[in-house]
Structure 1
Amino acid sequence: MTVTQPGWTLSGFGDEISPDPLVQAAVLQALGASHIEVRSAWETNIVEMEEAELLRLAGILREEGMGVSAVASPIGKVDVSLPVSHEVERLRRAINAANVLDTHYIRIFSFYRGEGLGPEDVRGPVMERMQALSAEAQAGGVVLLHENEKDIYGDTPERVLDIMKTVDSEALRVAWDPANFVQVGVKPFTEGYENLRPYLEYLQVKDARASDRLVMPAGEGDGELQETIAALREDGFTGFASLEPHLANTHHLGGFSGPSAFGVAGRAFRRLTDDAGVTLR
């Protein structure tokens, strides 16, 4: 009897490769990816693009045969003291971008806080904003993916779970970033996987070393990628795995790797999935 291996869809942050979407697509395809995660193109963030730019980008990706796994928006990567309407309005722009690019996933965050404030001090305002964003997403027919960025409210498994349970919306799910967990002193799989798995819908492929918080290729840090991949395979996960290596410098639009380092990251991840019996498509 032939056993079918579970398949995951490989994607990646195109602007970690180059500002040029044609280069982004070429490198991702060389790594076997069929999709791209769009954060920016031509050095313009996705929520700042004019309609003509969005249509141009959608046309290029369509001609190159690339699907879009998610819009990697900066929504929620701001101080929680800003009005609720500030991020709701930006989310509307992200929803429009998702519609133009034919994806239903939008990555978001759960807000920074002012100096001297602890997570408990901003919990109420964070939940108010996350509920407003989720309601907007529900109405717009998209799913928000919360990334556990360091220093936001939801940077630990406990607080991510708090958000998921409190908001309690099918329009809000988890984007799992193991490197970011490592960088706040968490053992991702050991300390977070079991509780967050019911909400985990998207895997961001990034690893980090606990000793100095340095970002590493998948499997070379302390992000417990091997354990996570094996568990997701056993759980029947069949979603997106998106490369976000951060192996070179960061810039105003986010992390950067360049084509060569991005290739290193992609091949490292494929070695892990090959070992786990997961097919990337």
Structure 2
Amino acid sequence: MSSAQKPTWILSGFGDEIDPDPKIQAAVMLSLGASHIEVRSAWGVNVVELDDAQVAELKSVLDASGLKVSAVASPIGKVDISLPAAHEVGRLRRIIEVTKALDARYIRMFSYFRAADQSPEDIRDAVMERMTLLAAEAEKAGVILIHENEKDIYGDTPERVLDLLETVNSPALRAAWDNANFVQVGVKPFTDAYAMLRPYLDYLQVKDAIAGSGEVVPTGQGDGQLVETLTALSEDGYTGFASLEPHLAAQHELGGFSGPAAFGEAARAFRSATDAIGITLA
């Protein structure tokens, strides 16, 4: 394949996995050859809690670096289903303001946790009601929600992700694909999920994991079938974002952390895999 035929993907990453300071986040992302950054928190403050002055300062830092924002990695839907529907609608309205201020279009989100005595089927109707309301808000605002297949939410298996996307049936709700998260719920991502969910896949989050332990590892070191997934995406014309979310040092309720060195290790492992397949990262 000649370089002219190589697909080009847009490299991004979760800046707060590098450092709380956006200036350090930006410097490391640029050193890794990225053109974009995914914003989950800045100065240790989650995006949903940033005030207008902080958002303006963050935009100024990113503008000075030349980085653009691939997505706002919100915590919308990463709450218990028992909360009233209006709770997340209100938070989404704030996230939409932040997203527009950062000149972004995508908002990462989730499909609700349940109580220990509830099954996914028990909460399905409530999830669909809430996700439909959220998608309507996004559609009205001209932004796109990308649902991440996080462990222990309603949409953590391929079948339930598909159920969610088909039922809500909104152009403002698409899939953010995470191989490692599928591994952590016993799914073989490429074998079990790729063909089913590819029509909805708008955004790639890059991390790998080991089956059994669930430990998150760099690309190609786990059971996430990343090479198969990346190859298939390349062959069927994917040209979107590839956002590094390594989770190599710590994982917690609202995300994870890697530090600059481990983040760089994850970026190099991913670039090695994409180079081998013939994908250009820009």
Bin for the TM-score computed over the shorter chain? over 0.9
Shift of 1:254: 1.7
2:120 is aligned to 119
Runs of 4+ in 1 over 3 A off after TM superposition: none
Maintained 8 Å contact 2:75/2:254:
no
Question: Which residue identity lines up with residue 273 of structure 2 in the other structure?
Answer: L
2:210 is aligned to 209
Q: What secondary structure, in the 3-state scheme, does the structure 2 residue paired with 1:255 have?
A: strand
- State the percentage of identical aligned residues: 65
Question: Which residue identity lines up with residue 157 of structure 1 in the other structure?
Answer: P
Question: Which residue identity lines up with residue 175 of structure 2 in the other structure?
Answer: V
Matches within 5 A, 1:229-268: 229-251=230-252, 253-268=254-269
The whole-number CA distance in structure 1 between the counterparts of 2:70 and 2:269 is 21
Maintained 8 Å contact 2:7/2:280:
yes
Maintained 8 Å contact 1:37/1:68:
yes
Maintained 8 Å contact 2:16/2:39:
yes
Give the length in aligned residue pairs: 281
Shift of 1:212: 1.2
The whole-number CA distance in structure 2 between the counterparts of 1:146 and 1:252 is 17
Shift of 1:251: 4.6
Q: Which structure 2 segments of 5+ residues have no match?
A: none
The whole-number CA distance in structure 2 between the counterparts of 1:211 and 1:115 is 21
Shift of 1:115: 1.5
Matches within 5 A, 1:1-281: 3-251=4-252, 253-281=254-282
Maintained 8 Å contact 1:37/1:69:
yes
The whole-number CA distance in structure 1 between the counterparts of 2:134 and 2:189 is 26
TM-score by length of 2: 0.98
Query: After superposition, what is the alpha-carbon deviation per residue over 1:220-263, rounded to whole angstroms, capped at 9, x for unaligned?
Result: 10000000000000110000000000000135642000000000
Q: Which structure 1 segments of 5+ residues have no match?
A: none
Maintained 8 Å contact 1:108/1:144:
yes
Question: Which residue identity lines up with residue 62 of structure 2 in the other structure?
Answer: L
Maintained 8 Å contact 1:43/1:253:
no
The whole-number CA distance in structure 1 between the counterparts of 2:176 and 2:164 is 13
TM-score by length of 1: 0.98
The whole-number CA distance in structure 2 between the counterparts of 1:45 and 1:75 is 11
Shift of 1:195: 0.8
Q: What secondary structure, in the 3-state scheme, does the structure 2 residue paired with 1:186 have?
A: coil
The whole-number CA distance in structure 1 between the counterparts of 2:164 and 2:181 is 17
The whole-number CA distance in structure 1 between the counterparts of 2:144 and 2:67 is 20
